[in-house]
Amino acid sequence: MSTVEPNQGEKKGGKKKAGIVILVLVILVLASVIIYLLMSRKPEEQERRNMVVTPDNVEEIVKQMEEEEFVAPGYYTVTMNYDWHFATGDAVSSDAYVENMVENTNAVYLDLFLANDEENAIYKSPVIPVGSELRDIALDTKLDAGTYDCVAVYHLVDDDQNTLSTLRVTVTVTVEG
């Protein structure tokens, strides 16, 4: 026959509660540290420009580059117009353009879909390297005259053209005649 001490269950429960309290406190401390670090960042006071590397300043430039924060791949700033006009459904657009600015980290391509049919692309772009732009865009699917709500799905790709992430942007396509 086993005997149970009257306080034995309370000891186990008390230890469990203390562990939970400690875990909550650790999480709160970590959250506070993260918030403090994020809030203490100073905004850039001046526009940064690239510097010319010379034999006299090469060590200084290398040191600055080592100290700079790494920008994770997969971020993209959309630079394009959102209203594309075409004289006819199979003509080259008079104003559609997409730019992959030098500030971006990855090459990109886009597929354009009608908003109500994201299974069938009406335009598939080539890969646009960083620092390049795409103009003279002609749809792959001929559209009748009208205005169409569309969705451009950008694919940010690595060097092997594997998709790292996607970005969706609305575009209005107008076919005049």
What pLDDT is stored for residue 68 in this prediction?
60
The reported pLDDT for the residue numbered 86 is 96
Rounded Cα–Cα distance for residues 161 and 36 (Å) = 38
Cα separation, 53 vs 50, whole angstroms = 9
Q: What is the per-residue pLDDT across 67-79, written as a single tens digit (0 to 9) for each?
A: 664 445 556 777 8
Q: Is the pLDDT of residue 174 over 80?
A: yes
73-126 confidence digits (pLDDT tens): 556 777 899 999 999 999 999 999 999 988 888 899 999 999 999 999 999 999
Distance between CA 167 and CA 83 in Å, rounded?
18
* Residue 125: DSSP 8-state: P
Q: At CA 59, angle to CA 55 and CA 62, rounded to 5?
A: 115
Instruction: Check: CB of residue 145 under 8 Å from CB of residue 176.
Output: yes
Res 30 pLDDT > 80: no
The position carrying tokens 């993260």 is 34
Q: How far apart are CA 111 and CA 122, in angstroms?
A: 8
| pLDDT over 80 at 37, yes or no | no
The CATH architecture assigned to 79-175 reads: Sandwich (2.60)
Tell me, what's the pLDDT at 104? Answer: 85
